[in-house]
């Protein structure tokens, strides 16, 4: 056995690290704006708009949203176009339980402008102009609004030069997205020429940096994605994101269009999601690259479809089965599941069979194949369990991570640390038992194992089957390279084999790394175990070689992974503590129960348990804290006073033999009624809604208005209510301890609840 490090093994490892970096490079946002005068001008316009629109929170029901609406209208009308204000009420119904529903009511006011084209087809760019109450929404969704406005201005200037589009271009700024996609729903339901909309682009954000990802599309129309990709050279999108998103309870403004069978593309940037829906989502923290990304998406969409002839593709673009697509370094690859996957699978299976029968007698036996297959299965399970165990250890070391809903600050540090630690553990285990690994049969069965996984998932999540197909191809190429060296270069195999054996890994890692990282960003730190699928190939790629390596060669990997773990653990520790720049995103509900005359304060359980901040203890000490439905509820509060809220006023109350009727003047930001069966609700003496099932009815109050609601319920029933407003301490007098700066209030509500009997 060699007693020194093999330089060829070292070179091979360096090549592999280069492949990792190269595959990761496509995740970094980049833009051609600085080298493109037109895009640079659009960027400057966007920044000007952003400084106005994202200055303050502009949520449904407050004056700032009205100011933003008026500003958008003024920009549109400056160029001689009419800004259409699409105003009306909407009722959005959701299935709530087996015994009832949930209904959301609001009066929305969308803004849109249409630049007419010479054909009947229309394309539409969508961005919502409302924010949440507890943040100015620089990323979500002012960046998209400002980019759309700036591109609109640029289109107007092009038209003045005589460049008229073939298809009409609609810029739509939707209202009330943050309270349930109500503006987009209203537009789709009420726009009279909906059937002429040929393609839609929706832009959103769940973070304030990173690359803008194509995470959703109508995957039965490959022509839309193909056409767009011709103009976007930095496109990143994978059909597995579409597959996963469809199985999650999330919705965006793109959803109503998709449900109406309107083709389109849904983009968002996702990194640093900890700032999402908070005061941290401000201009100061917004990534310039993400602004550039958003501008490019809007301009690329217009370049791709403003002069595109949709009629020639409408009849042939629909596919009964979803398309599988992926991007590699900005280049789109797309194919249908039924034809290309079956073709690729058949060719692959033939190659496997030929290789087995031609080489089996020389290199390995059926017993070797069977053992190697179970070794791959064991490694697959081991890596998943190790990543789960590593995450469990991480939460033990840093219990404050339980506070975060999705990912913490500096999310990439945790991702790299957990994978480095998992690789280190698996590496040490595999090194000890490497003598049982048959070099040739192991890579062949690695390919076969991934191929079988592809066949298993192809009918469930077609996009993920692509990941396993790429893994299978990579392992097969490694096997072929090893066979070539065995047959023709036996004398120099040990020296130069390692330089070439890692090269096929670029095939699987170029799609595996984006999958693992983007799935981690989307699903959160607690669900990181699911993401191991994309990076699993690294384990067998190295494990197959271990039997042929000296302990000095293996120690190189041990040392590298150990140093990586230490470095990123140190970085995590140095960025771990909360302060004014990295605060805990804190939530609180102040609840006044009019039935019992009790005042309560409600805090999230994880926030109280893991923050160790004295403020939480001071709140708990105000009364009797109990744990209820995953929350701390502090009741029986003494020495705390709250002024009369004046959220509602009963104008009239009457009853007969069958019904009780209440006439209520509502003044709170929003409200909820639990309506029993056979109830009726009338809003402002105009809108009549009947409920034949138990229904939770939530309504929102437009800016500078109150609302008269009449409710009729059966005489034997009870009407439960909650009147709710956003809690800003300057608006209410309540003598509770003030939050320190390292606790940032979000989703703070003040509630008056009770029942009419």
Do 212 and 90 lie in one domain? The reply is yes
Closest CA to 201 of 114, 311, 298, 299: 298
Domain-located, residue 500: yes
**CB distance 124 to 310 below 8 Å:** no
Do 324 and 247 lie in one domain? The reply is yes
| Range with the poorest average pLDDT among 30-34, 74-78, 580-584 | 30-34
Round to whole Å and give the CA distance between 281 and 232.
27
Closest CA to 135 of 738, 658, 728: 728
Q: Residue 476: is its pLDDT beyond 50?
A: yes
One-character DSSP codes across 637-648: --S--B-----E
User: Which whole number is the average pLDDT over 609-617?
Assistant: 92
Do 298 and 345 lie in one domain? The reply is no
| Range with the poorest average pLDDT among 13-17, 503-507, 731-735 | 731-735
Q: Which helix (H) or strand (E) holds 268?
A: strand 264-271
Round to whole Å and give the CA distance between 127 and 147.
9
SS3 state of residue 197: strand
Do 404 and 476 lie in one domain? The reply is yes
Round to whole Å and give the CA distance between 492 and 669.
77
Domain-located, residue 147: yes
pLDDT band at 15 (very low <50, low <70, confident <90, very high): very high
Do 96 and 234 lie in one domain? The reply is yes
**CB distance 144 to 172 below 8 Å:** no
104/250: higher pLDDT:
104
| The pLDDT value given to residue 315 | 38
Do 375 and 281 lie in one domain? The reply is no
Cis, peptide link before residue 215, omega less than 30° from 0: no
| The pLDDT value given to residue 79 | 92
| The pLDDT value given to residue 2 | 47
Most confident range (mean pLDDT) of 61-75, 304-318, 327-341 is 61-75
Domain-located, residue 138: yes
| The pLDDT value given to residue 560 | 95
Q: Which helix (H) or strand (E) holds 89?
A: strand 84-97
| The pLDDT value given to residue 361 | 60
**CB distance 691 to 675 below 8 Å:** yes
User: Which whole number is the average pLDDT over 466-487?
Assistant: 85
**CB distance 441 to 372 below 8 Å:** yes
DSSP state of 471: H
152/546: higher pLDDT:
152
317/605: higher pLDDT:
605
| The pLDDT value given to residue 727 | 93
Q: Decide: residue 160, CB within 10 A, 0-12 exposed, 13-18 middle, 19+ buried.
A: exposed
DSSP state of 527: G
Do 47 and 119 lie in one domain? The reply is yes
Do 406 and 277 lie in one domain? The reply is no
CA distances to 447, 478, 479, 482, 738 from 540, in Å: 10, 11, 12, 14, 55
**CB distance 84 to 173 below 8 Å:** no
Domain-located, residue 598: no
Closest CA to 156 of 82, 55, 100, 101: 82
Q: Residue 151: is its pLDDT beyond 50?
A: yes
Residue 30 main-chain phi, psi, to 5 deg: -145, 155
| The pLDDT value given to residue 5 | 77
| Range with the poorest average pLDDT among 169-173, 225-229, 338-342, 552-556 | 338-342
| The pLDDT value given to residue 30 | 73
Q: Residue 8: is its pLDDT beyond 50?
A: yes
Domain-located, residue 627: no
> For residue 59, what are the β-bridge partners?
131
Q: Residue 708: is its pLDDT beyond 90?
A: yes
Do 434 and 311 lie in one domain? The reply is no
| The pLDDT value given to residue 496 | 74
Do 320 and 359 lie in one domain? The reply is no
User: Which whole number is the average pLDDT over 436-450?
Assistant: 87
DSSP state of 458: T
pLDDT band at 317 (very low <50, low <70, confident <90, very high): very low
| Range with the poorest average pLDDT among 75-84, 97-106, 431-440, 510-519 | 97-106
| The pLDDT value given to residue 222 | 81
Q: Residue 457: is its pLDDT beyond 80?
A: yes
Question: What percent of the chain is predicted at pLDDT more than 70?
Answer: 92
Q: Residue 163: is its pLDDT beyond 80?
A: yes
Which of 547, 574, 601 terminates a domain? The answer is 574
| The pLDDT value given to residue 698 | 94
Beta pairing class for 264-271 and 323-328: unpaired
Joined tokens for residue 658: 């069958």
pLDDT band at 488 (very low <50, low <70, confident <90, very high): low
pTM: 0.92
Range of the domain at 702: 648-731
Do 701 and 727 lie in one domain? The reply is yes
| Range with the poorest average pLDDT among 29-33, 286-290, 479-483, 596-600 | 29-33
One-character DSSP codes across 223-258: HHHHHHHTT-TTB-B-HHHHHHHHTSS---THHHHH
Round to whole Å and give the CA distance between 448 and 270.
35
Domain-located, residue 637: no
**387 Ramachandran zone, left/alpha/beta (phi>0; psi -120 to 50):** alpha
Q: Residue 435: is its pLDDT beyond 80?
A: yes
CATH number, domain at 240? 3.40.630.10
pLDDT band at 312 (very low <50, low <70, confident <90, very high): low
**CB distance 9 to 556 below 8 Å:** yes
Most confident range (mean pLDDT) of 309-313, 485-489, 548-552, 720-724 is 720-724
pLDDT band at 663 (very low <50, low <70, confident <90, very high): very high
**CB distance 330 to 236 below 8 Å:** yes
Beta pairing class for 589-593 and 598-604: antiparallel
SS3 state of residue 38: helix
Round to whole Å and give the CA distance between 237 and 215.
6
Number of domains in the chain: 3
Do 235 and 202 lie in one domain? The reply is yes
Mean pLDDT for all residues in the chain: 89
pLDDT band at 419 (very low <50, low <70, confident <90, very high): very high
Whose tokens are 């349930």? That residue is 180
Closest CA to 293 of 175, 208, 390, 171: 208
Return the percent helix, strand and coil in the chain, to nearest 5: 50, 25, 30
| Range with the poorest average pLDDT among 94-103, 140-149, 338-347, 387-396 | 94-103
Domain-located, residue 491: yes
pLDDT, tens digit, for every residue of 17-61? Answer: 999 999 999 988 776 666 688 889 999 999 999 999 999 999 999
Q: How many CA atoms lie within 13 A of 88 on its CB side?
A: 13
| The pLDDT value given to residue 96 | 45
Domain-located, residue 592: no
Which of 557, 574, 591 terminates a domain? The answer is 574
Q: Decide: residue 724, CB within 10 A, 0-12 exposed, 13-18 middle, 19+ buried.
A: buried
pLDDT, tens digit, for every residue of 81-137? Answer: 999 999 999 988 765 444 457 889 999 999 999 999 999 999 999 999 999 999 999
| The pLDDT value given to residue 87 | 95
Q: Residue 252: is its pLDDT beyond 80?
A: yes
Which of 524, 557, 574 terminates a domain? The answer is 574
């Amino acid at each position: 056995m060699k007693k020194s490090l093999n330089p060829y093994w070292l070179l091979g490892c360096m090549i592999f690290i280069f492949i990792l970096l190269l595959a990761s490079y496509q995740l970094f946002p980049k833009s051609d704006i600085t080298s493109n005068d037109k895009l640079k001008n659009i960027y400057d316009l966007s920044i000007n708009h952003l400084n106005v629109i994202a200055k303050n929170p502009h949520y449904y029901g407050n004056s700032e949203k009205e100011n933003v609406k008026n500003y958008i209208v003024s920009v549109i009308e400056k160029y001689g176009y009419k800004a259409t204000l699409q105003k009306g009420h909407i009722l959005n119904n959701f299935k709530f339980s087996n015994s009832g529903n949930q209904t959301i009511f609001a009066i929305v006011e969308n803004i849109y402008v249409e630049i007419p084209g010479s054909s009947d087809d229309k394309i539409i760019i969508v961005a919502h102009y409302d924010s949440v109450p507890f943040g100015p929404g620089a990323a979500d969704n002012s960046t998209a609004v400002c980019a759309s406005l700036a591109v609109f201005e640029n289109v107007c200037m092009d038209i003045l030069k005589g460049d008229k589009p073939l298809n009409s271009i609609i810029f739509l700024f939707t209202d009330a997205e943050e309270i349930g996609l109500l503006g987009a729903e209203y537009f789709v339901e009420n726009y009279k020429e909906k059937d002429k909309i040929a393609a839609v682009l929706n832009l959103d954000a769940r973070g304030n940096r990173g690359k803008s990802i194509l995470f959703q599309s109508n995957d039965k129309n490959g022509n839309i994605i193909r056409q767009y990709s011709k103009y976007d050279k930095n496109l990143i999108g994978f059909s597995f994101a579409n597959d996963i998103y469809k199985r999650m309870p999330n919705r965006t403004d793109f959803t109503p269009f998709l449900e109406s069978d309107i083709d389109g593309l849904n983009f968002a940037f996702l990194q640093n999601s900890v700032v999402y829906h908070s005061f941290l989502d401000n201009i100061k923290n917004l990534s310039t690259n993400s602004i550039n990304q958003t501008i490019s998406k809007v301009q690329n969409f217009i370049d791709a479809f403003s002069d595109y002839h949709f009629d020639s593709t409408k009849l042939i673009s629909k596919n009964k089965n979803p398309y599988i697509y992926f991007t590699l370094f900005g280049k789109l690859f797309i194919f249908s599941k039924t034809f290309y996957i079956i073709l690729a699978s058949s060719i692959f299976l033939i190659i496997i069979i030929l290789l087995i029968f031609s080489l089996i007698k020389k290199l390995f036996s059926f017993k070797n194949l069977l053992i190697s297959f179970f070794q791959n299965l064991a490694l697959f399970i081991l890596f998943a369990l190790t990543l789960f165990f590593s995450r469990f250890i991480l939460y033990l070391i840093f219990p404050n991570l339980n506070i975060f809903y999705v990912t913490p600050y500096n999310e990439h540090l945790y991702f790299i640390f957990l994978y480095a630690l998992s690789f280190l553990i698996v590496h040490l285990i595999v090194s000890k038992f490497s003598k049982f690994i048959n070099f040739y049969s192991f890579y062949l069965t690695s390919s076969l194992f991934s191929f079988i996984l592809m066949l298993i998932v192809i009918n469930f999540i077609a996009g993920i089957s692509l990941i396993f197909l790429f893994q299978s191809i990579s392992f097969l190429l490694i096997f072929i390279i090893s066979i070539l060296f065995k047959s023709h270069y036996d004398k120099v195999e040990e020296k130069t084999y390692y330089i070439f054996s890692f090269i096929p890994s670029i095939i699987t890692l170029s799609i595996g790394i984006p999958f693992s990282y983007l799935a981690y960003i989307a699903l959160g730190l607690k669900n990181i175990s699911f993401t191991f699928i994309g990076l699993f190939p690294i384990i067998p790629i190295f494990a197959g070689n271990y039997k042929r390596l000296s302990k000095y060669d293996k120690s190189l990997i041990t040392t590298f992974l150990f140093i990586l773990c230490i470095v990123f653990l140190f970085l995590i520790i140095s960025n771990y503590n909360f302060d004014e720049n990295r605060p805990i995103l804190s939530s609180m509900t102040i609840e006044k129960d009019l039935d019992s005359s009790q005042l309560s304060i409600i805090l999230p359980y994880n926030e109280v348990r893991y923050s160790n901040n004295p403020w939480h203890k001071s709140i708990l000490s105000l009364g009797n804290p109990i744990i209820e439905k995953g929350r701390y509820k502090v009741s029986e509060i003494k020495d705390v006073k709250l002024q009369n809220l004046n959220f509602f006023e009963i104008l009239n109350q009457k009853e007969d033999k069958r019904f009780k009727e209440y006439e209520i003047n509502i003044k709170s930001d929003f409200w909820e009624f639990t309506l029993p069966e056979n109830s009726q609700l009338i809003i402002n003496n105009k809108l009549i809604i009947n409920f034949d099932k138990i229904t939770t009815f939530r309504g929102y109050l437009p800016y500078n208005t109150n609302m008269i609601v009449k409710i009729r319920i059966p005489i034997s029933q009870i009407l439960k209510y909650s009147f709710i407003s956003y809690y800003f301490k300057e608006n209410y007098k309540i003598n509770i301890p003030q939050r320190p700066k390292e606790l940032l209030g979000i989703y703070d509500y003040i509630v008056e609840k009770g029942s009419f009997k």
